[in-house]
Structure 1
Amino acid sequence: MVGPLEHAAEHLESPAVVGLVTALEEAYENLNHTSNAIRREALASMALPTLFKRRMGDTSKIRVAILGGDLAGILVLRGLLRYPHIVVDIYDSESSFSKEGLAFEFPYTVQKALYAIDPSLNQCLDRAGAVSESMEAYHASGGYTESGGARYPPDLYVPNSIVGRPELLSQLTADLPRRAVHLNARVTSIRDDNGGEGVVLVFANGSQERYDVLVGSDGTDGLSRKYVLGVDNPKLQLEHTGFWSLHLRVPLARAQEAIGTEFLDPSKPKQVRWVGDGIFMQHNLLNDGRDVQVTVYAQLDPAPIDPKSRGGPATPLLTPDELESSMALLEPGDFEGVFSTLKSEACKGIVKLFRSVFTVQIIGPLERRDQLVTSPPFSLRHATRNACLVGCAACPAPLSPHGSTAATTLAVEQALALTRLLGRADSKVKVSTALRTYDRFWGSRSESLMQNAFVASHFLAGRGAYFTELDASSQGENGHTAVLLSEEGFCEFIETLEHEEQALRMFVLETKTEEAFGFMDQLLAEQALS
């Protein structure tokens, strides 16, 4: 006899029951998968805004990309980080920001502008070992070398602060947020996005990033300059001036051994300039007086500046390969030949110092500048509706120490102006107006500053146009530098520098900034009405 349990077991094992159980199990499994998918979809929908913001940032904020890590770009970064409505990144293709090049020289007004960009920089020059140095100028060659004394600026002249490039850049980048700095990031192309409302950076690894604004700080041969000016713009083709430059930095004791202690006294720091016939030399103290930077600036090819300039063994013509690479290679004998007219013992010591450092070949960059053509309209000079240029990407600078000072001035001035204007653009629709204002007021200003720097640099080397109307032809041998280093001529030169300082104050700290703000407000009002 079969009991109830056995009877029930028989029914449970029947095909009908087994099929029903299997169907119920499959239905439950499908229901479980569906609920999990629903839960995942719900979680994803809740997390999507967070992930999007993490990737793209708050879409209401203005996204700014700085391409290139020179002084101007780093200062723009520091300035824009102070504005909460702006998200900013800086990209550089190298593993560190470039620390090669001449020291930075800060006139007094430029120091004030630097601190206005970011008040936390107030002590950065001191921390970087800046040295405040008076200025002296001497003849390096010609009949006036031995008899002519030093020339000094007027008593009211405020000495400049001179600081080593690596020391200052270390100070400027030490506390930057890691999220904003992208090294080893090579950009291969730049294109418009959304009809010019933004830009897209394409990187060597295939990735892309979109920004509302591009700030080009990648130099005269960088992608930014091509993007802003246009690939067919004649201003992309730079002209050689015929000048060449080289600098070195050595410990104080080694420099004193070559040049003498008279000109290198840390207790009486001074910047000494040597004015020669197609030659300019300068040396100054760095690193709290522990190091010395020495620079030579010479005309290798007279043709670009003055076809009638005296040639001779001291001015070898440049080869096509050198012009193509914008680098000049001099054998030791050629290098000494360039400076063969020097009569000052200190200058001869400078030549020997370079020869002791560069023992085989001496390679230095050739100076280039914008073509002397009619400038394009204001709206296309240094900015478009979504991009602008700063530093040497905007204007090539002379390779002389004077040119380096002008480049420092330009970098600080542009950074302060651009950060202020973008800081006032509290929405994306105002970005193009800020860039148009920057172009209107600082485009021509930048070109004028650099044009004067080239004239001054060549004049200091006894070439180019005159600062003074004094009659150089009546001065006999080495008449050009005789005019410069005459009491009257040198005073006129210093007055020219003071005029530049006044222009700087006007553009950076006084009337031009307010005028630019008024112009921007007027454009925004017109934009609102239309």
Structure 2
Amino acid sequence: MSHSIRIAISGGGLAGASLLHALLPHAHLDVHIFESAAAFKEVGMAIGVARNALAALDLIGRSAAQCLERAGAVPMRGVRFMLAQGEGSGNMIDETNDEALGQRVTSIVHRAAFLRELLTDVPQERMHSSKKLDKIDRNSDGHITLHFTDGTAHECDILIGADGIRSTVRKLILGEDDPAAFPRNTGSWAVMTLKPYAEAQASIGKGPVNIEDAREYMWIGDGAYLMHNVLNQGQLVQFVIASHEKDAESSDRWNRTVSADEIKKLYQDWPPHLYKAVDELLCDKPEQPAIYLWEHPPARTYVSGSVCIMGDAAHATTPWQGSGGGMSIEDSLILSTLLSRAKTPAEALTALKVYDQVRRLRTQRIVESSRDTGLIMAGLGEETKLDFRKLRAKLLPRWDFIVDFDNEKHRDEAVEMMERELKS
């Protein structure tokens, strides 16, 4: 007979919300989610949900996939990689497309809308805002007491840290003396903006911005990058520009200001229509706020007894391969599958142990690959630079191990591993 297992999720972003959504249908799991902010909300703009993550959503359940649809996700027909400078400038390096693959490539969704849908049917008594985790006590009876900065406490059997890149739970697992407990600045920075669909079309053209042929465009230049895609069922277009700043690597800077003159200088040798779009859409103010792109060094473990981390708390990554949200969804699939099979708190510990074993290698490989891909996308790849032929040969295959992934097999192998562990 199954006994109630009390699970606390620290962090109310997409990772925590997707896990909560996946755990709630299992009656023997008493799940509560705690968010440090005053409300459950997401910051930032859009995320890509590639076909590996779409498959994971389907495996979590139809309701999870419906959340994505209700959030106004735009199915992308493909991704086009374009060379903006160098020999072959203006030509397509390569592309993915759903016609060739015979399946969905990716969907683009506004993260705030997706979070709202994931939490829509969650009972209010399971959701706790303004609860910033301060410390935990591991009690002699095996239970954990969570202490929040407002003086309140909560007791549980399992604590799952989904508390983002500056995770408190990660530090509890690894220890403050472990360098991997803290994120690092990769040196790349990005400026993001949303523009009305008509305004974006008028600036960059009706070919690249077309809801009827929705594709994500990634333009590679000499030290600069441009990406754009359609959101909110064709109402908005997201633009991202980025560059790399060697001096910022491993610094403690999270933000910077980029002047319109600096942006124009970065893109001054780009094709006229692209320079025009950057000028009109991203230089309409004297200065723009930019964010540095951070990542986590590889952790030796994601688990310590009855405490584990997932999502950005476990493997924060740069956005170059659009896999941060996808990894969180995959984590949710594996964690919910294993924890749903645990009949006691002791068996839940085995579930966490198996989760760590099956997820750590894949997710840390993606973090490393994304960082290197960012250099390629800014024309700084040691092997590729702005060489059209080398980019065609080496760029697109970098996604193969990420998207050509059998989540059903991954899930079933995790279940088999847990069953072996429980029998031993």
TM-score normalized with structure 2 length: 0.92
Where in structure 2 are the equivalents of 1:514-529 lying within 5 Å? 514-526=412-424
Aligned with residue 86 of structure 2, among 142, 164, 174:
142
CA drift of 1:522 comes to: 2.2
Q: Which residue of the partner structure matches residue 345 of structure 1? A: 273
Where in structure 2 are the equivalents of 1:21-170 lying within 5 Å? 60-133=3-76, 134-146=78-90, 148-149=91-92, 151-153=94-96, 156-157=100-101, 158-170=104-116
Q: Which residue of the partner structure matches residue 327 of structure 2? A: 410
Aligned equivalents of 1:121, 1:238: Cα separation in 2: 30
Aligned with residue 247 of structure 1, among 184, 192, 195:
192
Q: Which has the larger radius of gyration?
A: 1
Aligned with residue 297 of structure 1, among 242, 245, 256:
242
2:144 is aligned with 1:199: yes
Structure 1 counterpart of 2:122, which letter? Answer: L
Q: What CA deviation, in whole Å up to 9, does each residue of 1:66-123 have, x standing for no partner?
A: 0111211111101111111110000111122232223121222321211222322333
SS in 2 for 1:123: helix
Aligned equivalents of 1:303, 1:329: Cα separation in 2: 13
2:314 is aligned with 1:388: no
Structure 1 counterpart of 2:172, which letter? Answer: Y
Structure 2 counterpart of 1:366, which letter? Answer: Y
Q: What CA deviation, in whole Å up to 9, does each residue of 1:129-176 have, x standing for no partner?
A: 221222222222234325x35643375234311111122122111111
Is the contact made by 2:8 and 2:159 (CA closer than 8 Å) also made in structure 1? yes
Structure 1 counterpart of 2:281, which letter? Answer: L
Aligned equivalents of 1:177, 1:80: Cα separation in 2: 13
Is the contact made by 1:103 and 1:164 (CA closer than 8 Å) also made in structure 2? yes
Q: What CA deviation, in whole Å up to 9, does each residue of 1:195-235 have, x standing for no partner?
A: 7x232211222111111111111112121111111121110
Change (3 A) 1:113 1:253: same
SS in 2 for 1:450: helix
Is the contact made by 1:250 and 1:292 (CA closer than 8 Å) also made in structure 2? yes
Name whichever of 449-458 and 244-253 sits farther off: 449-458
Name whichever of 515-524 and 186-195 sits farther off: 186-195
Aligned length: 419
Aligned with residue 425 of structure 1, among 326, 335, 342:
342
Is the contact made by 1:190 and 1:223 (CA closer than 8 Å) also made in structure 2? no
Change (3 A) 1:398 1:324: same
Aligned equivalents of 2:253, 2:259: Cα separation in 1: 17
Structure 2 counterpart of 1:230, which letter? Answer: G
Which structure dedicates a bigger proportion of its chain to strand?
A: 2
Aligned equivalents of 1:261, 1:333: Cα separation in 2: 27
Q: Which residue of the partner structure matches residue 238 of structure 1? A: 183
* More contact order relative to length (CA 8 Å, sep ≥ 6): 2
Is the contact made by 1:145 and 1:344 (CA closer than 8 Å) also made in structure 2? no
Aligned equivalents of 1:142, 1:329: Cα separation in 2: 28
Change (3 A) 1:166 1:304: closer
CA drift of 1:179 comes to: 1.1
Q: Which residue of the partner structure matches residue 252 of structure 2? A: 324
Aligned equivalents of 2:61, 2:16: Cα separation in 1: 14
Change (3 A) 1:98 1:277: farther
Q: Which residue of the partner structure matches residue 223 of structure 2? A: 278
Q: What CA deviation, in whole Å up to 9, does each residue of 1:490-514 have, x standing for no partner?
A: 2543333233223x21xx211x333
Identity of aligned residues (%): 25
Q: What CA deviation, in whole Å up to 9, does each residue of 1:417-445 have, x standing for no partner?
A: 00111111111111211111111111122
Structure 2 counterpart of 1:518, which letter? Answer: E
Aligned equivalents of 2:386, 2:72: Cα separation in 1: 33
Change (3 A) 1:191 1:232: farther
Change (3 A) 1:207 1:457: same
Aligned with residue 366 of structure 1, among 289, 292, 296:
292
2:379 is aligned with 1:481: no
Aligned equivalents of 1:80, 1:418: Cα separation in 2: 9
Q: Which residue of the partner structure matches residue 440 of structure 1? A: 357
Is the contact made by 1:130 and 1:161 (CA closer than 8 Å) also made in structure 2? yes
Gaps of 5+ in 2: none
Aligned equivalents of 1:152, 1:344: Cα separation in 2: 23
Structure 1 counterpart of 2:340, which letter? Answer: G
SS in 1 for 2:281: helix
CA drift of 1:525 comes to: 2.0
Q: Which residue of the partner structure matches residue 204 of structure 2? A: 259
Change (3 A) 1:366 1:276: same
Change (3 A) 1:119 1:266: closer
CA drift of 1:324 comes to: 2.9
Aligned equivalents of 1:417, 1:518: Cα separation in 2: 12
CA drift of 1:259 comes to: 1.6
Aligned equivalents of 2:342, 2:148: Cα separation in 1: 28
2:388 is aligned with 1:463: no
TM-score normalized with structure 1 length: 0.74
Q: What CA deviation, in whole Å up to 9, does each residue of 1:267-294 have, x standing for no partner?
A: 2222111111122211011111111011
Structure 2 counterpart of 1:267, which letter? Answer: E
Is the contact made by 1:72 and 1:411 (CA closer than 8 Å) also made in structure 2? yes
Structure 2 counterpart of 1:420, which letter? Answer: T
Aligned with residue 490 of structure 1, among 365, 375, 392:
392
